[in-house]
Each structure stands twice: as structure tokens, then as C-alpha cells.
Amino acid sequence: MIGMPALIEFDSFKENAELCHKLGLDFIEINMNLPLYSHKIDVEEIKKYLKLYDLKLTLHLSESFDPFVLDPIYRQAALDSFNSALEIAKNLGVKLLNMHMSKGIYFTLPDGKLLLNKKFHHEYLTYVQEFKSLVESSDIILCIENTGIHDLDFIQTATDILLEADNIFLTYDIGHDITSGYKDKAYFDLRRDKICHYHIHDATTSHNHLELYTGDLDIDGYISQAKNSGASCVIEVKTARALTQSVEKLKLRA
């Protein structure tokens, strides 16, 4: 399946659904960073257009979501947010949620930066285990996306713990990888069998979310890799114009 992100230039789900249908795509990844798709989401409105155009959804959790944060009040808020997202997913027939990991807060010391999640490693991993149990008790697939921090040992350890769950997998964002200097590549290459979702956009070492075939990435190779594994793909460019042109190029190469 190939999908598109909900676009910030659109003020309604209807506009996203119409474009998705026009381009012949299969699903929309709605992003909970956008107020339109936060926890005040209009479920019935979205259902109407999903049915009208025979579309599916995936859900991208807010980038501020961090269920491992050390502060108990913030952590409980994150868990409440996740439970709310599960309810939204259930009501909309969403099977896949996408999330970012966070390296957390750091203290600047005379000889460098000290990450609190690394300093308080035991507490951090306790919260990772607790979150894993919460996800395991649901019927959702949760995918962890790379954001240029999977070279950190405690992020690798935490992700490995989460991947022990049968319903937790990886999202490979090819643009994030190149702009980070391929900090995530080694980790993801060794766990390619756990990748079930891709964010596809072109990129250079300094810019990502570019229209397909305008940057430095082997788009055809990544599309083929995703198709061969049965993974879903979001063409994660950020404007209707770039998305339309990207999909048209893909169709010409099919």
C-alpha cells in the first residue's frame, strides 16, 4: 500500500481524501501534531470520506510524545495521550501507529553534555518495559521511526526491548537517515526484517522531504525494497504540488 501524509496546507480532511483518491493512493497518514487531528478529531467526518473514497488510515503520534520521560506527571500525560490515540484508532479502523523516540533532556557539563536518560538508565528502561506491556495489551501495530538518534546506545537498547513485542516494528524514514549522516543505518540494516512501514521522500545531506527524484536518494531502490517486504509506504512530501508530481513520476516508472 502507498499513501500520503495529511497536508498542513489543507484545512479539512475532505481535501486530503479528495487528493488521495485523485492520485490513486491507498491511505492517509494523519499527524497528531496538527490541531485538526489531535484528540478533538472529528471521527464521523473522517469516516464519511474514508467510506466514500475507500481509503485507509495510519496515525502518526505527536512528535512531543514521550512515554519514557522521567518526570511522572509528564509520563502519565503521555500514557493518557497514547490511550486516547488507541481509542481514536479503534473508532477509525486504524491498524498502525507511528512514533518517534526521544533522546530526552540533557545537562551541559564542563566536559560535554550528559543525557538524563543515559544517566538514569535503570529508571528509563523500567518505563520502556511498562510501555511495551501497554502496547502488547492492544491490537495495534506500533512502528518506531528513525530520527537520527539510533546511534545512541540507550536508544538502541530501548528499541530492542520494544521490538520484543509481537506488535512493535520499525518505520524507516529514508530522508531522516541521509540528513543525519546515516546515524541510524547500521541499526536498521541489522533489523530489516522488523521494518514494516516506510517514509519515502527525496533528500540531500542538508534537506529532506523533497519531491521524489530531485535529491540524492535511490528512490526506486527503496520503493522496491518496501514492495518486496510487503511494507506500507508514505510518500512523505509536504505539499500537494510536490506530492502530485512525485506520484506522477512513480506511475511513469511502474
Confidence (pLDDT) at 170: 98
Question: Is residue 227 within 8 Å of 234, Cβ to Cβ?
Answer: no
- What is the average pLDDT across 158-165? 98
The SS3 call for residue 34 is coil
CA distance 29 to 146: 17
Domains parsed from the chain with CATH numbers = 2-253 (3.20.20.150)
Q: Report helix, strand or coil for 171.
A: strand
The C-alpha atoms of residue 249 and residue 207 are separated, in whole angstroms, by 20
- Cα separation, 181 vs 48, whole angstroms: 42
Gyration radius (Cα) of the chain, Å: 18
The residue among 144, 193, 142 whose CA lies nearest residue 173 is 144
> In the numeric block, which cell numbers belong to residue 116?
538524563
Task: Work out the pLDDT band at 253, boundaries 50, 70, 90.
Answer: confident
Residue 77, pLDDT > 90, answer: yes
39 has pLDDT over 80: no
What's the rounded mean pLDDT across residues 183-209? 95
Per-residue pLDDT, averaged over 199-207, amounts to 94
- pLDDT on residue 110: 92
